A and B are shown apart, each in its own frame.
Chain A
Amino acid sequence: MIPISNYLFLSTALMTIGVLGVLTRRNMVIILMSVELILNAVNINLVAFSHYWGTVHGQTFAIFIIADAAAEVAVGLGLLIALFRNKEVVNADQIELLKW
């Protein structure tokens, strides 16, 4: 029996790696992938607590999060394609239309 704090530490580490990717990478595709890492860290938490309490409510929430991740990726990649068609860039720090 593994204590639940181990799952929390794993999820913390995974989320920290995801935030690292969001904050430091330039390629927007990889930023979106890092967001996926963060969402997976949340899912690990939910499923671990679901296992702890012996109910499936946490797993149900994880399913909703996966659906949201799919929606987020679809819209995010659509934005990326629209941006690439107009400006030919994929790096987040080259998009500075609103910068003054």
Chain B
Amino acid sequence: MTTRYVVTGIGATAPNGLGNEEFWSATLAGRSGIGRITRFDPEPYPVTLAGQVRGFAADEHLPAKITVQTDLMTHLALVASEMALADAGIDPARQPEYEMAVMTANSSGGNEFGQREIQALWSNGPRHVGAYQSIAWFYAASTGQISIRHGMRGPCGVIATEQAGGLDALSQARRALRQGAGMVLTGGTDASLSPYGLVTQLPTGMLSRSADPARAYLPFDAEACGYVPGEGGAILVMEEERAARARGAARIYGEIAGYAATFDPAPGSGRPPGLLRAVKGALADAGIAPGDVDVVFADAKGVPEADLQEAGVLAEIFGPGGVPVTAPKTMTGRLYAGGAALDVAAALLAVHHSVIPPTTNVTRPAPGCDIDLVLDVPRAAGVRTALVVARGHGGFNSAVVVRAAGG
């Protein structure tokens, strides 16, 4: 019997919904979490919209002892982890300590916490930097805190490949399972919305400057004008299928059936970009043909050149309009390390419920984007296999195949 790695628990912390049910119902209803930034006054800046996890109060979910020593990115990771474990019906205290692994992705550390402490340093002097800066700001904070909170002493890792990280973490989770872990908490969350966190992103020129939440993030649209930044993500519980069934897991959302990662050639090399190879690699790893894919969750950058590139790759593999494509991240913005993890959560829910969530706000496909974009309303279809695509700043390409359980 083939060994399969499945997801049995999902914890989503998304701008359009905290918790799976809220996130999934909002996503199917086309309800967006994008709005004017409230974490600070965005007035001075050319970018004023973001996907914030609105109404999220860390204190309602976590002890003050933990919230005080962690940034929002870790609050979100801890809450998502608890939701995922509860969803999977796993009590970590009853699991063998060395068989629980934690593999998360992170893209930019604890931005708000970090900015506060660096301001304390530069405005008041070195003795004003707090004791927790050393553990809140760095990229490993969430994995470390998750491991400690749940007594997980198996392999612990952190990968950073910007938006591709949420997929790369799953591959590390799969490896941990292969090497003997019984379960892995994996995925990622990010929170980059502090003034400096936002300002650092402006020079890429890829953030949307629109102030209209309905027109700001329009991937594959003729009026695409960049993406909206967001915060949040998802943490998943991954297990080996037989083990999940043996313990009587309440549900198996689906299988992480294939994965591949590639990197774009150095600028000026004249060589082709790597996205096509990543998608083909993930399909091959899953042992499926393009025709087996029922839906593609696109990276959907919302930057014309990048959209054309992605649409071209999809058309080349699946044929023009050959597969339904969707981008529910039009309702959340790009969540960096959390983004692809949330896309995988959406893909799992899509195969679990056999329905394709929509892309919102896109009205007029850009010339050259020959893809069948699922617009505005969910498409009921036999959805058994989904492909999730992610690209990280600098040239990272990753793809994951998600398949319905029991296939």
Asked if chains A and B come from one complex, the reply is: no
Binding site for A on B (CB under 8 A): none
